């Protein structure tokens, strides 16, 4: 079944923030942001800007009626810089003008006097100076100290990972409109309407019931709008509060890249111990997370890094430590995988390191250590594992040995073109690790023409959640999907929502919708009993628009039944609540059962490297993936393909560069390279995992939004294999992304060394 938005998308008729018709009198906002990464703010001079044409008001910290604070987890993020600036791009003042051009022109005329303070951009340096966002986090299973003593082989090393720009097609933005009696309606491009509502309430001091947040859809979020849509909504809201006029701000691409946080970069130290059969018996890892200037979501991101630090493997003795390090960069934040991919990259590096030293294929160590049913993750939960089944089924379908053999033959015949292949098993936990966030609500109405309207807490951002929710209602009521409309996400209809994140939106909100629909359906069946002369509601079913009695079609149709229910004053609406059962986690013991389930899969990634130029192509990604019973295979394939390409981009070409002054050098699409259609793998082939197990998500499905990104990690290691096939003298550092420049330097490492030595 097609995505319910496909027609309006193709026609360009779908509505995003920038398409909302503006009300007369709307003002345009533009931020003046800090030109330095760290300093004491002595004064801001807005005089020249105030005199610019069209300027209505300029707002700074001192003008706020509410709190100058937007930090959700820790109160460490002022909306406007007050006494200090903490990163380049930190908002300092907001210009409101009659036109967008006037607002931007005036913002450029603001100046500030800032006394420079020490700038730190590197997480290890921040750690050395004890600039931590939160106290360190630890996971411990077994006893690594003893296990290293009994290990046959021990290897230690370092892995580094850069961040990633979200590059949602629709930039951040908001539009706020005053409503009567001091209230406000907020249109926001956010994954978290409730987070926006809370934040607006905080900076305006308006109670939450005066604030209506409405979201039609996003042109992508990828985690970047889980928390970081708040600031722009808060800025517009303050503007509306102080001028009593609607205020709009849609960021330009370069503003967005400069002012918003990205995927957290990490630096890590690992130590891995194996027994003589290559079983990993000990793993010690320390993560230095680059959090940026404030907490934002970095603490839970770091937690998920620890949750996934052993990927799809069972290691009986694990000590994992995470430091969230405060630097003078824009606050980093959620990004598809939420720290999980970073944890996985480090253990994959450790395994490849061991394999190289032991002269065995990495896949042998990977396979021998896959987690099995009943094995314990380092956080106490016992696995219900599909790691081995997905590995075996991928091997049966795609034949690893044959692929490896073909690549070996190719490499022996070609001097300047080398191929490489890597296996990438994944295991990703599904549920917000903060248990209370795993709840959702749905509001369902049947109207007297028989059509159905659904509202939930889920935000559509291209991932197809509205299609899946419409499918739930259409399945329960047995109506064509056209009879169901999923409406905007709105805090007046659905309150206290979790953000659409953690790949859990379709499940949580789908379940709530299922409960609401079933409740109404039961009422309708009871209405039908006397009308079709049945004994009781159990004898009734509704299929394809007709009432069935004991499996036999009657003449009573959906429309008549609905109207009969209405005439009998039976409630045709329901607001239902759903909360995931059986999950818990306690940080005081660092153990529990945080995930409803895990998503598994095994991919094989093949690349070709041009050893004269250092450029490469990803030839194929083939995998056995644990879709569960996919609710919508075409939507899920879209998620798989998009996730893989995004993962490959992160691992290979997307390179965020901040200079030592904390200035973003990769600040536009000319200097930040993301995968285009030419860098998409020629072949992406997936087989669904076959298993007899029941899947716990809605309609026996499994979450699909984030896990496929992690297959992209395989591209890094496949390129590494190809590079080693050309330059056998060199073992490249574990330092992602593997950009063409780095590939070239590693292909010619000896030449590079000689050049450095001045030869
Ligand atoms: N797909 C598209 N097209 N656009 C997006 O912004 N975000 C991803 C994923 N897939 C995203 C996407 C992220 S980070 C998450 S957490 C999930 O979608 C969220 O949606 P779900 O819970 O409905 O899977
Ligand atoms: N967001 C969050 C997430 O707040 N908690 C999570 O556990 C999570 N996991 C994945 C993506 N976003
Ligand atoms: Mo996704 S990182 O959970 O928004």
Contact indicator for 649, 162 with CB cutoff of 8 Å: no
Ligand 2 pocket, residue 432 CB under 6 Å: yes
| Model confidence pLDDT, tens digit, residues 163-172 | 999 999 999 9
Ligand 2 pocket, residue 583 CB under 6 Å: no
> With the CA atoms of 199, 76, 666 and 196 taken in that order, what torsion angle do they form, in degrees rounded to the nearest 10?
-10
| Cα 705 to averaged position of ligand 1 atoms, centre (Å) | 5
Say which ligand is closest to the CA of 335.
3
Q: Is 51 exposed, middle or buried (0-12, 13-18, 19+ CB in 10 A)?
A: exposed
Say which ligand is closest to the CA of 646.
1
| Model confidence pLDDT, tens digit, residues 304-356 | 999 999 999 999 999 999 999 999 999 999 999 999 999 999 999 999 999 99
Q: Ligand 3 pocket: which of 308, 338, 458 to mutate (most atoms <8 Å of CB)?
A: 338
| DSSP secondary structure string for all residues of 111-134 | EEEEEE------HHHHHHTT-BSS
Atom of ligand 1 nearest to the CA of 504: 22
Closest Cα to residue 265, out of 650, 643, 642? 650
| Cα 492 to averaged position of ligand 1 atoms, centre (Å) | 24
What crossing angle do the helices spanning 740-747 and 749-756 adopt, rounded to 10°? 80
Q: Average model confidence (pLDDT) for the chain?
A: 98
Determine the Cα–Cα distance for residues 360 and 219; give it in Å rounded to an integer: 45
- How many residues can be counted in the chain? 759
Q: Ligand 2 pocket: which of 295, 299, 334, 599 to mutate (most atoms <8 Å of CB)?
A: 334
Closest Cα to residue 49, out of 100, 82, 95, 114? 95
Residue with the nearest Cα to atom 4 of ligand 3? Answer: 223
| Cα 643 to averaged position of ligand 3 atoms, centre (Å) | 12
Is the pTM for the entire model greater than 0.95?
yes
| Model confidence pLDDT, tens digit, residues 631-662 | 999 999 999 999 999 999 999 999 999 999 99
Atom of ligand 2 nearest to the CA of 431: 7
Determine the Cα–Cα distance for residues 247 and 249; give it in Å rounded to an integer: 7
Which two three-digit tokens encode residue 366?
A: 């990977």
Mind telling me the catalytic residues? 706
Atom of ligand 1 nearest to the CA of 704: 24
| Cα 336 to averaged position of ligand 3 atoms, centre (Å) | 5
Q: Ligand 3 pocket: which of 298, 336, 647, 707 to mutate (most atoms <8 Å of CB)?
A: 336
Phi, psi of 307 (to 5 degrees): -60, -30
Atom of ligand 3 nearest to the CA of 500: 4
Ligand 2 pocket, residue 335 CB under 6 Å: no
Residue with the nearest Cα to atom 7 of ligand 2? Answer: 432
Determine the Cα–Cα distance for residues 379 and 3; give it in Å rounded to an integer: 37
| Cα 200 to averaged position of ligand 2 atoms, centre (Å) | 22
Residue 201 CA, distance from chain mean position: 25
Residue with the nearest Cα to atom 1 of ligand 1? Answer: 463
Residue with the nearest Cα to atom 11 of ligand 2? Answer: 502
Atom of ligand 1 nearest to the CA of 505: 22
Determine the Cα–Cα distance for residues 627 and 425; give it in Å rounded to an integer: 14
| Cα 503 to averaged position of ligand 1 atoms, centre (Å) | 6
Residue with the nearest Cα to atom 20 of ligand 1? Answer: 503
Pocket of ligand 1 (CB under 6 A): 220-223, 336, 461-463, 465, 500-506, 639, 642, 703, 705-706
| Cα 504 to averaged position of ligand 3 atoms, centre (Å) | 9
First and final CA of the chain: distance in angstroms? Answer: 64
| Cα 188 to averaged position of ligand 1 atoms, centre (Å) | 17
Which pLDDT score, from 0 to 100, does residue 463 have? 98
Closest Cα to residue 484, out of 456, 508, 461? 456
| Model confidence pLDDT, tens digit, residues 523-578 | 999 999 999 999 999 999 999 999 999 999 999 999 999 999 999 999 999 999 99
Which pLDDT score, from 0 to 100, does residue 696 have? 86
Q: pLDDT band at residue 16, thresholds of 50, 70 and 90?
A: very high
Atom of ligand 2 nearest to the CA of 433: 7
Can you give the C-alpha Rg of the chain in angstroms? 27
Q: Ligand 2 pocket: which of 224, 335, 433 to mutate (most atoms <8 Å of CB)?
A: 433
Which two three-digit tokens encode residue 549?
A: 């009695």
Ligand 2 pocket, residue 304 CB under 6 Å: yes
| Cα 223 to averaged position of ligand 2 atoms, centre (Å) | 9
Whether residue 614 has pLDDT greater than 80 = yes
Which pLDDT score, from 0 to 100, does residue 395 have? 98
Determine the Cα–Cα distance for residues 347 and 285; give it in Å rounded to an integer: 9
Contact indicator for 270, 347 with CB cutoff of 8 Å: yes
Whether residue 759 has pLDDT greater than 80 = no
Whether residue 211 has pLDDT greater than 90 = yes
Determine the Cα–Cα distance for residues 219 and 567; give it in Å rounded to an integer: 43
Burial of 202-230, coded b for 16+ CB within 10 Å and e otherwise, reads bbbebebeebbbbbbbbbbbbbbbbbbbb
Q: Which residues, including other chains, have CB under 8 Å from residue 87's CB and lie 6 or more apart? A: 34, 37, 38, 292, 293, 328, 329, 330, 331, 662
Contact indicator for 594, 585 with CB cutoff of 8 Å: yes
| Cα 502 to averaged position of ligand 2 atoms, centre (Å) | 4
Determine the Cα–Cα distance for residues 461 and 441; give it in Å rounded to an integer: 18
Pocket of ligand 3 (CB under 6 A): 191, 221, 223, 226, 334-336, 338, 501-502, 706
Say which ligand is closest to the CA of 469.
1
Q: CA separation (Å) from 236 to 82, 170, 233, 294, 321? A: 18, 18, 5, 21, 40
Arithmetic mean of pLDDT, 221-246 = 98
Ligand 2 pocket, residue 334 CB under 6 Å: yes
Which two three-digit tokens encode residue 713?
A: 């990690």
| Cα 221 to averaged position of ligand 2 atoms, centre (Å) | 13
Beta bridge partners of 26: none
Ligand 2 pocket, residue 504 CB under 6 Å: no
Ligand 2 pocket, residue 222 CB under 6 Å: no
Whether residue 136 has pLDDT greater than 80 = yes
Which two three-digit tokens encode residue 63?
A: 């003008």
SS3 430: strand
Strands (E), 216-369: 247-250, 266-274, 280-292, 318-326
Which pLDDT score, from 0 to 100, does residue 79 have? 98
Say which ligand is closest to the CA of 639.
1
Determine the Cα–Cα distance for residues 30 and 91; give it in Å rounded to an integer: 10
Residue with the nearest Cα to atom 6 of ligand 2? Answer: 432
Arithmetic mean of pLDDT, 194-208 = 98
Q: Ligand 2 pocket: which of 502, 596, 599, 703 to mutate (most atoms <8 Å of CB)?
A: 502
């Amino acid at each position: 079944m097609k995505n319910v938005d496909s027609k309006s998308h193709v026609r360009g008729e779908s509505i995003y923030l920038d398409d909302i018709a503006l009300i007369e009198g709307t003002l345009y906002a533009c931020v003046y942001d800090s030109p330095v990464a760290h300093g004491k703010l002595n004064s801001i001079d807005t005089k020249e800007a105030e005199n610019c044409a069209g300027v209505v008001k300029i707002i700074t910290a001192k003008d706020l009626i509410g709190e100058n604070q937007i930090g959700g987890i820790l109160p460490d993020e002022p909306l406007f810089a007050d006494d200090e600036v903490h990163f380049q791009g930190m908002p300092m003042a907001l210009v409101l003008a009659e036109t967008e051009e006037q607002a931007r022109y005036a913002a450029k005329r603001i100046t500030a006097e800032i006394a420079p303070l020490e700038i730190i951009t590197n997480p290890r340096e921040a750690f050395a100076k004890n600039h931590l966002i939160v106290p360190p986090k630890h996971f411990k299973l077994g006893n690594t100290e003893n296990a290293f003593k009994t290990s046959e082989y021990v290897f230690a090393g370092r892995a580094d990972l850069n961040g990633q720009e979200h590059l949602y097609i629709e930039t951040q933005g908001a539009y706020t409109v005053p409503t009567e009696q001091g209230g406000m309606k907020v249109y926001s491009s956010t994954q978290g309407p409730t987070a926006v509502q809370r934040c607006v309430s905080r900076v305006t001091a308006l109670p939450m019931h005066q604030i209506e947040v409405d979201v039609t859809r996003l042109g992508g979020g990828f985690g970047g709008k889980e928390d970081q849509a708040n600031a722009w909504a808060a800025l517009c809201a303050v503007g509306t509060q102080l001028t009593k006029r609607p205020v709009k701000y849609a960021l330009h691409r370069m503003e967005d890249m400069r002012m918003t946080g990205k995927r957290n970069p990490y630096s890590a130290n690992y130590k891995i111990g194996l027994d003589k059969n290559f079983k990993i018996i000990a793993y010690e890892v320390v993560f230095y997370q680059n959090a940026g200037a404030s907490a934002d979501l970095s603490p839970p991101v770091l937690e998920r890094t620890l949750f996934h630090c052993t990927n799809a493997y069972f290691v009986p003795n694990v000590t994992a430590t995470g430091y969230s390090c405060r630097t003078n960069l824009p606050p980093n934040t959620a990004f598809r995988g939420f720290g999980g991919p970073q944890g996985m990259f480090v253990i994959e590096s450790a395994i490849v390191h061991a394999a190289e030293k032991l002269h065995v294929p990495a896949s042998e160590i990977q396979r021998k250590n896959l987690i099995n049913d009943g094995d314990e993750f380092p956080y106490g939960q016992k696995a219900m594992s599909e790691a081995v089944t997905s590995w075996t089924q991928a091997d049966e379908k795609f034949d690893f040995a044959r692929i490896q053999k073909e690549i070996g033959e190719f490499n022996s015949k070609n001097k300047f073109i080398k191929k490489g292949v890597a296996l990438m098993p994944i295991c990703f936990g599904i549920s917000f690790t903060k248990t209370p966030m795993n709840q959702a609500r749905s509001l369902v109405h049947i109207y007297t023409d028989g059509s159905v309207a659904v509202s939930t807490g889920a935000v559509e951002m291209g991932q197809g959640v509205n299609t899946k929710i419409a499918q739930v209602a259409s399945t329960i009521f047995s109506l064509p999907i056209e009879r169901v409309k999923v409406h905007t996400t709105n805090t007046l209809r659905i309150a206290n929502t979790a953000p659409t994140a953690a790949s859990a939106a379709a499940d949580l909100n789908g379940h709530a919708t299922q409960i609401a629909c079933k409740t109404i359906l039961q009422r309708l069946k009871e209405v039908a009993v006397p009308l079709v002369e049945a004994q009781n509601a159990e004898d009734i079913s509704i299929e394809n628009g007709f009432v069935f009695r004991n499996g036999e079609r009657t003449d009573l149709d959906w429309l008549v039944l609905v109207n009969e229910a209405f005439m009998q004053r039976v409630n045709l609406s329901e607001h239902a609540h759903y909360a995931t059962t059986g999950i818990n986690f306690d940080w005081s013991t660092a153990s529990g059962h945080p995930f409803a389930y895990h998503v598994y899969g095994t991919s094989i990634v093949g690349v070709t490297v041009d050893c004269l130029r250092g450029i490469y192509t990803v030839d194929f990604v083939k995998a056995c993936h644990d879709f569960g019973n996919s609710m919508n295979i075409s939507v899920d394939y879209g998620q798989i393909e998009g996730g893989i390409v995004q993962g490959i981009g992160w691992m290979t070409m997307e390179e965020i560069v901040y200079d030592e002054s904390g200035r973003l050098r990769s600040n536009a699409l000319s200097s930040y390279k993301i995968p285009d259609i030419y860098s998409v793998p020629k072949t992406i082939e997936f087989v669904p995992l076959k298993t007899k197990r029941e899947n716990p998500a809605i309609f026996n499905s499994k979450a699909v939004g984030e896990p496929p990104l992690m297959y992209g990690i395989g591209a890094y290691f496949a390129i590494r294999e190809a590079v080693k096939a050309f330059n056998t003298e060199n073992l490249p550092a574990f330092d992602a992304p593997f950009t063409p420049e780095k590939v070239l330097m590693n292909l010619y490492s000896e030449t590079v060394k000689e050049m450095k030595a001045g030869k």
